[in-house]
Amino acid sequence: MDLHLFGESEIMKKILIGFLAAFVCTVVVIPRSNTIAASKGEDDFQLTKVAEGVFAGISIPTGFAGSNAGFIIGDDGVIVVDTFTYPQATEELIAQIEARTSLPIKYVVNTHYHLDHVGGNQVFAARNIPIIAQENTRVWVPTKNSKFLASADELKKRRADTAEQLSKMDTDDKGRPALERRLHAADLLLSIKLVPPTVTYTTDSVHLFLGKREVVLFTLPGHTGGDTLVYVPDADVLFTGDMGWSKYLPNLIDATVNDWIPSLEKIIKNHNTAKFVPGHGPVASVAEITDFHDYMSDLRDRVRTAIAAGVTLEQAQDQLSQTLPEKFKAFSGQGFVKPNISDMYKELKGTKNK
């Protein structure tokens, strides 16, 4: 096992803050009958018991979680998988853990670097809890997240503009709730400090033990080039991070779909009886992961055909966005249809920048 340990890093002196990309805070809600309401976090996420001692925090689209997270309770401790976007939601997740066990949180795992999965790292760093990730993620958390963040000056300006609008509104104005939410989001973004993982690995897999309970971390290519999946063998539960999306169109900004499709085929083959906690969307079975694979494969096939016919990028976006198969029109995240076509087109043409 090739692990790299790092001392406590200095929190960035200049906080990179701003508004997130469209995929942040847009996750489907699972029915309340299948969930455990979070005492203070019920507006941010809903907690689902996936298996004995294995829980998923499923993001609520109107809340401040931004992605899914979860935790695994073993014999002598707890592993947390991902930390949401905002520290507020992270604290709420910790409260849910403490309501279920007095065992300590031993490790946190970042499935990849995207802000909506690592924004709460600072909460665990303050508690001196090791944060584990694939090696590339350590470098990318404080650097590549600039793609999803506006400048501090821009955020402050937007906040000031929003506050000014609110000051001119009547208290019963129907537009107040949306502006109040925007103001609150700006304050939360100002609270984020980008804290990288403190333990990294470069091998294919790492085995952690919570007493007798084994938890396996492994990496596969496709989504960012630094993704970690978390498998709990005795419960047959796989946390995919954003390597798996459930009933939801993906963000392909860093993706290499030609690598991702065979990775999904490997997941489907090796974990065909598992329950899946995806990065976005409800808890899934292999059927939903297969649907996601089929979306990626269909996207590649349609874009490849368009390129062979001499279609330009703009034409491909216009034409192919109108021919999305019915099966995928029911997925959430329909705003990703055209960006996915663009990213796939550029990948196949060899012009995509990551």
Express each pLDDT in 55-103 by its tens digit. 999 999 888 899 999 999 999 999 999 999 999 999 999 999 999 999 9
pLDDT at 336 over 70: yes
Residue 167 and residue 141 share a domain:
no
Is 304 within the bounds of a domain? yes
Is 171 within the bounds of a domain? yes
Domain that holds residue 159: 153-190
Range 147-153 average pLDDT: 73
Instruction: Read off φ and ψ for residue 241, nearest 5 degrees.
Output: 55, -150
Structure tokens at 312: 């330009």
Question: How many angstroms separate the Cα of 114 from the Cα of each of 79, 91, 111, 150, 333?
Answer: 19, 19, 9, 14, 17
Strands (E), the chain: 3-5, 36-37, 45-51, 54-59, 69-73, 78-81, 105-109, 131-134, 199-201, 205-210, 213-218, 229-232, 237-245, 275-280
Minimum mean pLDDT range among 96-110, 158-172, 330-344? 158-172
Is 229 within the bounds of a domain? yes
Minimum mean pLDDT range among 29-33, 78-82, 160-164, 188-192? 29-33
Residue 209 and residue 186 share a domain:
no
* Radius of gyration of the chain, Cα coordinates, nearest whole angstrom: 20
pLDDT at 146 over 60: yes
pLDDT score, position 27: 31
Range 284-306 average pLDDT: 98
Is 183 within the bounds of a domain? yes
Is 290 within the bounds of a domain? no
pLDDT at 140 over 80: yes
Instruction: Read off φ and ψ for residue 283, nearest 5 degrees.
Output: -55, 140
Please name the residue that has the structure tokens 């990318």.
140
Residue 8 and residue 102 share a domain:
yes
pLDDT score, position 203: 86
Residue 172 and residue 33 share a domain:
no
pLDDT score, position 20: 43
Residue 122 and residue 140 share a domain:
yes
d(CA 244, CA 280): 8
Identify the sign of the CA torsion 22, 195, 193, 96: positive
Fill in the amino acid letter for 51.
Answer: A
Residue 77 and residue 51 share a domain:
yes
pLDDT at 273 over 60: yes
Contacts with 243 (C-beta within 8 Å, 6 or more apart), sequence order: 111, 220, 222, 223, 227, 229, 260, 263, 264, 267, 279
Total domain count, the chain? 3
Is 291 within the bounds of a domain? no
Range 133-151 average pLDDT: 88
Residue 208 and residue 178 share a domain:
no
Is 53 within the bounds of a domain? yes
pLDDT score, position 187: 78
Q: Which residue, of 139, 161, 190, is where some domain finishes? A: 190
Residue 315 and residue 182 share a domain:
no
Q: Which residue, of 285, 310, 336, is where some domain finishes? A: 285
Residue 127 and residue 23 share a domain:
yes
Minimum mean pLDDT range among 13-27, 50-64, 160-174? 13-27
Is 68 within the bounds of a domain? yes
Q: Which residue, of 190, 215, 242, is where some domain finishes? A: 190
Residue 176 and residue 74 share a domain:
no
pLDDT at 18 over 60: no
Range 164-187 average pLDDT: 81
pLDDT score, position 29: 29
Residue 185 and residue 213 share a domain:
no
How confident is the prediction for the chain on average, in pLDDT?
Answer: 87
Residue 250 and residue 343 share a domain:
no
pLDDT score, position 296: 98
Half-sphere exposure of 273 (CA within 13 A, CB side): 5
pLDDT at 5 over 80: no
Q: Which CATH number characterizes residue 25's domain? A: 3.60.15.10
pLDDT in tens, 237-260: 999 999 999 999 999 999 999 999
